[in-house]
């Protein structure tokens, strides 16, 4: 399975600011996914990022709030913009090799104060 | 709908006993069913998965069964150990959903010594 390096691992941010989370994969992958996980909850898909095209956002998530970049097949970023305390959560990137075999980054624990 | 129903939400078993977690789905196009284990503060880790052309799969103390007719699949852990304590998530995907994972709500498994 792919190895994913995600950073930062955690951050405490002031409301109104933005944070960019990075994921670097050790091999080329077509699909990358960004998730949010509230404490004690399941994973909620934010968007799917494919190289060379705009990210596809799930209901309730918009590009202005969560812009995503996918400049190549091994890297992606998710920005959480104009943060509020409600954005405090764990953010995870995930990749899939072929059509199965999803693996996850180590997560970014975001606290907005 | 698309959701995956997962039960129970919490399961407490005596060390050495078996644990069973069940998930049901409604989309008959689903063809891939992974199970993830998430320890506190860590990323989800794939522990076992099954594809729709197989009814059962085993890996040491862990097994997954799939009943495509009834649209449910289950995780079985035998001879439970303290390190099995974690949150377990089921998921499903299909070609129709572009292989995106649809997640269950999770089961908190507690192994009592």
Q: What is the pLDDT of residues B40-76, one digit of tens each?
A: 999 999 999 999 888 999 999 999 999 999 999 999 9
Q: Which of A35, A90, A29, A28 is nearest to A57 (CA)?
A: A35
Asked whether the beta carbons of B28 and B40 are under 8 A apart, the reply is no
Which residue of chain B comes nearest to A33, CA vs CA?
B100
| Residues whose CB is less than 8 angstroms from the CB of residue B55 and which lie 6 or more positions away in sequence, other chains included | B65, B66, B67
Poorest-confidence range of A104-108, B76-80, B99-103? B99-103
Cβ-defined contact of B34 to A99 (cutoff 8 Å): no
Four-CA torsion A7, A9, A12, A18, nearest 10 degrees: 20
What is residue A62's predicted lDDT score, i.e. its pLDDT? 97
Residues of B2-34 as b/e, b for ≥16 C-beta within 10 angstroms?
A: eebebeeeebebeeeeebbbbbbbebeebbbbb
Say whether pLDDT at A99 is over 70.
Answer: no
What is residue B97's predicted lDDT score, i.e. its pLDDT? 72
Residues of B48-68 as b/e, b for ≥16 C-beta within 10 angstroms?
A: bbbebeeeeeeeeebbbbbeb
> B81 to chain A nearest CA, in Å?
22
Token pair 């594809």: residue: B51
- The CA distance from B53 to A49, in Å, is 29
Cβ-defined contact of A107 to B99 (cutoff 8 Å): no
- The CA distance from A112 to B34, in Å, is 33
Interface with A, mutate which of B99, B104, B108 (most A CBs under 10 A): B99
Q: Which of A74, A64, A57 is nearest to A6 (CA)?
A: A74
């Amino acid at each position: 399975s792919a190895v994913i390096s995600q950073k930062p691992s955690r951050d405490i941010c002031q409301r109104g600011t933005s944070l960019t989370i990075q994921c670097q994969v050790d091999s080329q992958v077509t699909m990358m996914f960004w998730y949010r996980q509230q404490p004690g909850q399941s994973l909620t898909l934010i968007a799917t990022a494919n190289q060379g095209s705009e990210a596809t956002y799930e209901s309730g998530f918009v590009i202005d709030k969560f812009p995503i970049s996918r400049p190549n097949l091994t890297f992606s970023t998710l920005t959480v913009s104009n943060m509020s305390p409600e954005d405090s959560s764990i953010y995870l990137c995930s990749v899939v090799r072929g059509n199965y075999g999803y693996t996850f980054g180590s997560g970014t624990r975001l606290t907005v104060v | 709908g698309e959701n995956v129903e997962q039960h129970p939400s919490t399961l407490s078993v005596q060390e050495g006993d078996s644990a069973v977690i069940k998930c049901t789905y409604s989309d008959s196009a689903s063809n891939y069913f992974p199970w993830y284990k998430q320890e506190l503060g860590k990323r989800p880790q794939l522990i076992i998965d099954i594809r729709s052309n197989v009814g059962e799969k085993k890996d040491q103390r862990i097994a997954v069964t799939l009943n495509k007719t009834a649209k449910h699949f289950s995780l079985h852990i035998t001879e439970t150990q303290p390190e099995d304590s974690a949150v377990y998530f089921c998921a499903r995907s299909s070609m129709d959903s572009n292989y995106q994972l649809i997640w269950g709500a999770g089961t908190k498994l507690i192994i009592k010594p």
